[in-house]
Amino acid sequence: MNLRTLLTYGFALGVSTTLLLFTVHQSQVPKMLYTSISRRNDIFQANLPNNNSHRRPEMESVSTSCVPQKKFVFIRTHKTGSTTTINIFQRYAINNKLKVLMPVGPGALSWPFPPEENEFVHMPDEEYDTLFHHFVYNKTWLRSKFPPETKYISILRQPFGHLKSQINYHHLPMVLGIQDKTNPIKKFLQDPWQYRNRSETFFPHVNITWDGTRNPMTFDMGWPAERADEEEEARKYISKLDSNFTLVMILEHLDESVVLLRRLMCWELRDVLFYSKSKNSRGYPYKTYVATPEEQENHRRWSAVDYMLYNTFNNSLWQKINAQGPDFYNELKYFRRIKIDVSDFCERAMKGRHVDKQAMVITESKWNPEFEVDKTYCWYMTRPKAYHLDIEIKGRRYTKEEMSYSVMTILSNYRLLHRGKTTFKNKHLARAAGIKGLPTKRLHVDRSVLEH
């Protein structure tokens, strides 16, 4: 055998050996991967969209370069689904030990102006990471408390649905003098302008006018009620809001909003899941009423600034979603399935149908690392009111004195107006002025007292 033949034979043998070793290695990969994701028999596994969730390409797709944002303000608007969404922000603050700018008493931080120094809990260093209680957006005050990199988030809903919720919750038919309890919406929308002197209510304690039927969402975002007719100026203001806010979620597209929230904030799936079986929804006779075209047009004209606000941020939401690319919808489908699985599991767990040690594992996917859902996780996620997690944040229950510093609700101040009294910022001030009997359950309004 000459040298050339020997070299050729050696090269062929080397290639054959390499191919054989590569084939053996590849045959072991599924077994190795299966071993890495196997779990104890007492773990309840989540139903995943497909069997590809554990394949190596998806494992490698979990982002490691995204930095979680831990400085944020959530402007909690009224009657927009914020009771469901505030739970996400409370849990994130608790799990990450964030410094929360908290009101002294339970409930809202303030209304409608920024709180005075004695109305919120001060941190020793006067540095805060987050705020998420009811608060009328005030850019100047917020910038004095939070650093420039702070992310601003809020939530809105379709204005007609919001009107129905407002009228029911605040007992506005009594304020407006509408006798029809079955469908006051229909009566109101025949001619909203005739109710203006009643719907615009002046609250002396803050020297402010508020209208529960006209642009109430934009009011929560900082636009005065008395400037309802200044539509061009309102348009400029809303444009500034659009540039200042990282995300304004839309209640009618809550799943999409929450998936986008996770992406923009670089949070994890476990941070943004919410309980899909919430019982916070209130029923009332006209909740499902669909306005006629004429009624809808009257409402659009009456509450034009709210429609402008909603349309701006609804468009903004979809622009930001489209910028995410088609993969967004794969994550949305995955999110919805996991949300249902976790909600079902937590419903059973909180009813005691699982032993405390039993947990549910959400395995790693393209969009999240592996995590467990246990009874503790379920307890936090299923709290029906913000008050429960506020106590967790405080680390103790509210004292009687702190309870008295809770911000007076609009409904309570309506009652005071009916009794011919002035209005107050909180119950402490009302009681100091000799006001008794707050609150009562129902509102009975002398309409003449509210006219001005």
Domains annotated for the chain, with CATH where assigned, are 72-328 (3.40.50)
pLDDT interval class at 280 (50, 70, 90): low
Per-residue pLDDT averaged across 161-178, rounded? Answer: 92
Instruction: Tell me the per-residue pLDDT of 187-237, one tens digit each, with 9 for 90 and over.
Output: 999 999 999 999 999 999 999 999 999 999 999 999 999 999 999 999 999
Confidence band of 276 (pLDDT split at 50, 70, 90) = very high
Nearest-angstrom CA–CA distance, 417 and 437: 14
Q: How many residues does the chain have?
A: 452
What burial class does residue 436 get, using C-beta atoms within 10 Å of its C-beta: 0-12 exposed, 13-18 middle, 19+ buried?
exposed
> Percent of the chain at pLDDT above 90?
71
Higher pLDDT, 48 or 406: 406
Residue with the two structure tokens 């990199």: 149
- Within a 10 A sphere around the Cβ of 167, how many other Cβ atoms? 22
Choose among 412, 349, 409: nearest CA to 375. 349
Average of per-residue pLDDT values in the chain: 85
**Burial, 423: exposed, middle or buried (Cβ in 10 Å; 0-12, 13-18, 19+)?**
buried
pLDDT-based confidence at 412, cuts 50/70/90? confident
Tell me, what's the pLDDT at 191?
97
Average pLDDT of 124-145?
A: 96
